[in-house]
Amino acid sequence: MNDLLRLDDRLNADQRLIRDTVKSFVSDRILPNVGDWFENAVFPARELAPELGSLGLLGMHLEGYGCAGTDAVSYGVACRELEAGDSGLRSFVSVQGSLAMFPIWRYGSDEQKDEWLPRMAAGTAIGCFGLTEPDHGSDPANMRTYAKKDGSDWILNGSKMWITNGSIADVAVVWAQTDEGIRGFVVPTSTPGFSAPEIHKKLSLRASVTSSLYFDDVRLPASAALPDVTGLRGPLSCLSEARFGIVWGVVGAARSCLEAAVDYAKTRVQFDKPIGAFQLTQEKLAWMYVGLAQAGLTALHLGSLKDTGQLEPRQISFGKLANVRAALDIARQARSILGGNGITLEYPVIRHMNNLESVLTYEGTQEIHTLVLGEALTGLAAYR
């Protein structure tokens, strides 16, 4: 499909190489299989993780410990091409790098970094991120999971929910209340008292592992605590990293839907001509492209801000709010162009559309990001 605004002309040679490498991997390895994975609610994480690691995609925006150390736009481009395959694939990479590796890299001890980051970058160890709870999603400050000191050890109790990679993870970065404030803990999932049952019967993100986490008197050594952060700024900084990937990723999902709609409109004949020759269809396609290009511009601009150290959380909220909504609108319009064929897994549209319903909610709901922007405009916090 034509890049009418020539947005990818703004990419440098390294960024284009990453784009082409990830796009080729998705085309060869993911697209022939992802429809079946989605239908059967499976994701071969153990098989794919070393392949993703060998491509340098796990923690790719971090420095050292086997990480690629790329710039922000390169990370964004990779997320875009991954999510053009499936949101579950991008979620796996995002959780591994931005939610599990990043807090260890940014706030962890040298021992924690040395133990986990090289293996996670290689894909031989998988991580997850425990923040959301059954009763506290958008309000993490009131989480109930609690870690209490017992001599030099910590005793962790509580639960988390909607945790990507939870039941397949080797390590969980868990956020909990303590007498000192909210702290992060690096928890090997083999620790007694830790359990992570998988959540089933999902109709979205089916090609992704989603779990609950339970902590029943999980005893952790003092060295399990992340030493360099206390309070909500720890988990929120991780979410900012992951949300940046979403801003780019959903552009890939939207592009996949638009490409499917254009191809279908050119070949589906009704009333003796392709439906793409009808004005109503062309109007849909034109507005879909406008939304896609605007989302791409937003992603590229935020990537440039991040690479120059100017990106703010409220700008990421703008990007997630605008781009996820645009992607969902494009997916829904594509579904209408494909008619009955739009609900089958022979085409990517219904899969992307269902997945985007989860992306709309996770890592900050549409409503929360709306209120973040409202506060930025008025100076008044509506959610406190």
Report yes or no: 362 and 324 within 8 Å, Cβ to Cβ: no
Return the CA Rg of the chain.
21
Token reading at 250? 């959903």
What's the CA gap between 264 and 314, in Å, rounded? 38
Report yes or no: 353 and 347 within 8 Å, Cβ to Cβ: no
Token reading at 274? 């392709």
63, 283, 363, 375: the catalytic one is 363
Could you give phi then psi for residue 34, rounded to 5 degrees?
Answer: -70, -30
**What are the residue ranges of helices labelled H in the chain?**
13-25, 31-40, 45-54, 72-85, 87-94, 102-107, 110-122, 233-267, 279-307, 313-338, 349-359, 366-378
What's the CA gap between 298 and 247, in Å, rounded? 8
Residue type, 42: V
Token reading at 227? 């030493």
Mark whether 367 is an active-site residue. no
Residues labelled as active-site residues: 363
